[in-house]
């Protein structure tokens, strides 16, 4: 038996550790010893809201962990992996039909909702002491990254948003110079990292006035602003929106120059009435030839892009994104948002 971090979706009081049998051979030929699991807003949504996160068929709890890092224990000779390799599992799996998007290996763009997601949708996550995986969905990391590899999955989601923003911008003349990132959580900070790696003038806006976030932004060579987006004195060619707040999206649409591209990565609160002036948004988008698009999940190639981005990043800066380590037994505390938190990780190797 092995320990796993689990919850019944929508019932946070059930969050805890369960015992599971060893991973099933049907999960894949590669056996991995789990090191770290990152906890993010999606896990909190699963635990608290219940309209997000689905149990696997016949199961009573969902094992969490779509952000993984592990070490290969066993791998077949033709898998391209060897014992000791550091790997991260891709979160989403193509639907079995497959739809045309999944058939093109773009399961992040699945058209029929038939996909599963480890730790989110009808498939246990990687949050057990060991997991099995098909080599097609295991991304090998630069060994120098070590435990920082747990940042790969959130970086993959950011890499996808960047790739799509650049593709959309390329519909016409486009030479982005200034980027605005709204929200300085882990996704916003990683979006700012990728902006700096592209040599762009980067601005990050958030509400906090002190603590680790402004320093992390400054240490990227980017500019930090505290307060409303409307007060940030720049005209960004690309906006990476990570808050999901309606007013922030509208302000971003209105203050960008002609031809701007705005990527929405934040999810709006389902229980909040969004006071969005849609006609003002219409005017900003039509008269400015602007694009607002949504972005979620990542295909295999985005994980590979993210692995390259992390390998090029400053490891000291990356390590400061991980602000709290907890044991599996303590994992429910990772759902609490503490003022100094950026990314909280569960150390699956910690003894009970
Ligand atoms: Zn599909």
Closest CA to 236 of 277, 195, 279, 267: 195
**What does the pLDDT read at residue 241?**
97
> 120-129 in b/e burial notation, b at 16+ Cβ within 10 A?
bbbbbbbbbb
Task: Say which range, 13-27, 188-202, 258-272, has the weakest mean pLDDT.
Answer: 258-272
Q: How far is the CA of 178 from the centre of ligand 1 (A)?
A: 35
Residue 41 to residue 52: CA distance in whole angstroms:
11
Average pLDDT value for residue range 44-50: 92
Residue 75 to residue 87: CA distance in whole angstroms:
12
Q: How far is the CA of 197 from the centre of ligand 1 (A)?
A: 32
- Whether 150 and 69 have beta carbons less than 8 Å apart is answered as yes
Q: Which residues surround ligand 1, an ion (CB under 5 A)?
A: 95, 99, 102, 110
**What does the pLDDT read at residue 271?**
59
pTM for the structure as a whole: 0.96
With a CB cutoff of 8 Å and minimum separation 6, the contacts of 182 are 188, 204, 205, 206, 229, 239, 240, 241, 242, 243, 248, 252, 266
Q: Could you give the strand order of the β-sheet that contains 291-294, starting from the edge strand earlier in sequence?
A: 223-226, 201-206, 178-182, 238-241, 261-264, 291-294
Q: How far is the CA of 70 from the centre of ligand 1 (A)?
A: 27
Residues 189-221 pLDDT 10s? 999 999 999 999 999 999 999 999 999 999 999
Average pLDDT value for residue range 64-86: 98
- Whether 263 and 296 have beta carbons less than 8 Å apart is answered as no
277 confidence band (pLDDT: 50, 70, 90) = confident
Average pLDDT value for residue range 216-234: 96
Residue 275 pLDDT > 80: no
% residues pLDDT > 90 (the chain): 91
272 confidence band (pLDDT: 50, 70, 90) = low
Beta strands, E only, 58-200:
62-63, 67-74, 86-89, 92-93, 116-118, 122-123, 130-133, 138-140, 178-182
Q: How far is the CA of 222 from the centre of ligand 1 (A)?
A: 38
Q: How far is the CA of 115 from the centre of ligand 1 (A)?
A: 6
Q: How far is the CA of 25 from the centre of ligand 1 (A)?
A: 24
List the structure tokens of 250: 């509208």
Q: How far is the CA of 146 from the centre of ligand 1 (A)?
A: 33
- Give the Cβ contact number of residue 294 at 10 Å: 12
**What does the pLDDT read at residue 50?**
80
């Amino acid at each position: 038996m092995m320990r796993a971090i689990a919850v019944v979706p929508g019932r946070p009081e059930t969050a805890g550790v369960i015992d599971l049998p060893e991973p099933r051979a049907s999960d894949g030929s590669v056996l991995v010893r789990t090191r770290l699991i990152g906890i993010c807003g999606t896990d909190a949504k699963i635990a608290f809201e219940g309209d997000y996160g689905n149990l696997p068929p016949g199961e009573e709890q969902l094992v969490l962990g779509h952000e993984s890092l592990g070490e290969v224990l066993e791998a077949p000779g033709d898998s391209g992996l060897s014992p000791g390799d550091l790997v991260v599992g891709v979160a989403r799996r193509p639907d079995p039909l497959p739809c045309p998007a999944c058939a093109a290996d773009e399961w992040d763009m699945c058209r029929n909702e038939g996909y599963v997601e480890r730790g989110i949708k009808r498939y246990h996550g990687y949050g057990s002491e060991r997991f099995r995986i098909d080599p097609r969905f295991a991304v090998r990391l630069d060994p120098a990254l070590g435990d920082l590899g747990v940042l790969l999955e959130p970086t993959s989601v950011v890499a996808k948003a960047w790739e799509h923003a650049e593709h959309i911008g390329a519909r016409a003349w486009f030479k982005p110079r200034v980027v605005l990132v709204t929200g300085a959580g882990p996704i916003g900070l990683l979006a700012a990292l990728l902006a700096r790696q592209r040599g762009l003038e980067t601005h990050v806006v958030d509400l906090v006035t002190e603590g680790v976030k402004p320093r992390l932004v400054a240490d990227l060579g980017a500019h930090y602003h505290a307060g409303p987006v409307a007060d940030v004195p720049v005209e960004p060619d690309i906006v990476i929106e990570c808050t999901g707040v309606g007013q922030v999206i509208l302000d971003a649409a209105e203050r960008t120059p002609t031809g701007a591209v705005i990527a929405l990565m934040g999810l709006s609160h389902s229980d909040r009435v969004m006071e969005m002036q849609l006609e003002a948004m219409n005017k900003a988008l039509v008269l400015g030839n602007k694009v607002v698009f949504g972005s979620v999940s990542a295909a295999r190639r985005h994980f590979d892009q993210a692995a390259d981005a992390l390998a090029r990043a400053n490891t000291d800066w990356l390590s400061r994104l991980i602000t709290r380590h907890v044991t599996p037994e303590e994992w429910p505390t990772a759902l609490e948002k503490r003022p100094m938190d950026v990314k909280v990780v569960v150390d699956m190797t910690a003894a009970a």
